[in-house]
Amino acid sequence: MVLFDQVSVQYDTGPQVLKDISFTLAPGSFHFLVGRSGAGKSSLLKLMYLGLRPSSGLVNLFGRDVATLSRADFPAIRRRVGVVFQDFRLIEHLSALDNVALPLRVAGVREADIRRHCSELLSWVGLADQLNALPATLSGGQQQRVAIARAVIARPNLLLADEPTGNVDDVIGLRLMYLFEELNKLGTTVVVATHNDALVSRFTHRQLRLEQSSVRVFDPAGAGPGQAAPGMGAA
Ligand SMILES: Nc1ncnc2c1ncn2[C@@H]1O[C@H](COP(=O)(O)OP(=O)(O)OP(=O)(O)O)[C@@H](O)[C@H]1O
């Protein structure tokens, strides 16, 4: 599903943000991505949704080496990836429902089905009364839930969530995690980047730990720290 081999990232003339990172994500796996602020979590996620090219090394998504992809290949890959951005990136002139509907409209789903699916999911995340609200009229936590609903509505193969519980209270945070777990049970590979150690410790999912530009795979359910190498550890 995802393979990184000796991947490094450097922005312009700055220091290396990620250095020789190698890991694999097996289809259907669930990982937390943890590390202090500035450790490179968002950069690593960007590599997985074609938002950034590695400075060196190999990134393989869905069996394709991203270095060999042309711009024309991007939309098909991106349709398979749901992203919850740290800053939400909702379309300001569209209602909550129409923001969530975007991936389904791109996929050509029937309008009646779109309205039904989107209202059901928005109700499930506690926004039944805000279907027609514009993003600017919603709180940060409500906008975050709209962003999450938009990322999961089309059941992506890969879900990447950047601090998806950063703006909500613990109860809603847990509910959103359960939503990700449900999606994972249906086959979606999930990566959740978070600072929230308390949340991470409630689950036994594997962790990609970013420290000093390197990644280490930790399996709380297993024998302890593992090595991060292609074809093992996170698979
Ligand atoms: N577009 C960019 N240009 C230059 N430097 C960047 C850019 N994006 C990120 N960086 C730098 O790369 C490093 C890693 O940033 P990144 O956002 O990936 O970390 P993070 O772990 O997601 O942080 P946070 O938890 O605070 O969101 C930081 O030092 C940041 O300043």
42 close to ligand 1 (CB < 6 Angstrom): yes
What value does the mean pLDDT take over residues 162-179?
88
d(CA 174, CA 112) in angstroms, rounded, equals: 30
For the residues 87-116, what does the mean pLDDT come to?
Answer: 95
Ligand 1 centroid, distance to 192 Cα (angstroms): 17
Question: Is pLDDT of 228 > 70?
Answer: no
Provide the pLDDT confidence category of residue 131 given band limits of 50, 70 and 90. very high
pLDDT of residue 225: 46
d(CA 37, ligand 1 centre) in Å: 8
Report pLDDT for 45. Answer: 97
Nearest alpha carbon, ligand 1 atom 30: 38
Rounded Cα gap, residues 96 and 3, in angstroms: 34
Q: Please report the pLDDT score of residue 145 as a whole number.
A: 93
Q: What is the pLDDT of residue 10?
A: 95
pLDDT at 235 over 50: no
Region 168-194: what's the mean pLDDT? 91
Split at pLDDT 50, 70, 90, the class of 32 is very high
Residue bearing the CA closest to ligand 1, atom 4: 11
CA atoms within 13 A on the CB side of 91: 12
Tell whether the model's pLDDT for residue 231 goes beyond 60.
no
Q: Residue 109 corresponds to which tokens in the numbers above?
A: 């789903």
Query: What number is the average pLDDT over the span 97-124?
Result: 95
pLDDT of residue 119: 96
pLDDT tens for 9-23 read: 999 988 999 999 999
148 pLDDT exceeds 70?
yes
Does residue 208's CB lie within 6 angstroms of at least one atom of ligand 1? no
Q: Which atom of ligand 1 is nearest to the CA of 86?
A: 27
Place 169 in a pLDDT band, splitting at 50, 70 and 90.
confident
pLDDT at 166 over 90: no
Give the mean pLDDT of the chain: 91
pLDDT of residue 229: 38
Q: Which 3-state string (H, E, C) describes the chain?
A: CEEEEEEEEECCCCCEEEEEEEEEECCCCEEEEECCCCCCHHHHHHHHCCCCCCCEEEEEECCEEHHHCCHHHHHHHHCCEEEECCCCCCCCCCCHHHHHHHHHHHCCCCHHHHHHHHHHHHHHCCCHHHCCCCHHHCCHHHHHHHHHHHHHCCCCCEEEEECCCCCCCHHHHHHHHHHHHHHHHCCCEEEEECCCHHHHHCCCCEEEEEECCEEEEEECCCCEEECCCCCCCCC
Q: What pLDDT is recorded for position 80?
A: 94
Rounded mean pLDDT of 206-224?
Answer: 86
* Model confidence pLDDT, tens digit, residues 49-84: 999 999 999 999 999 999 999 999 999 999 999 999
CB of 35 within 6 A of ligand 1: the answer is yes
Confidence (pLDDT) at 232:
34
- Per-residue model confidence (pLDDT) at position 57: 97
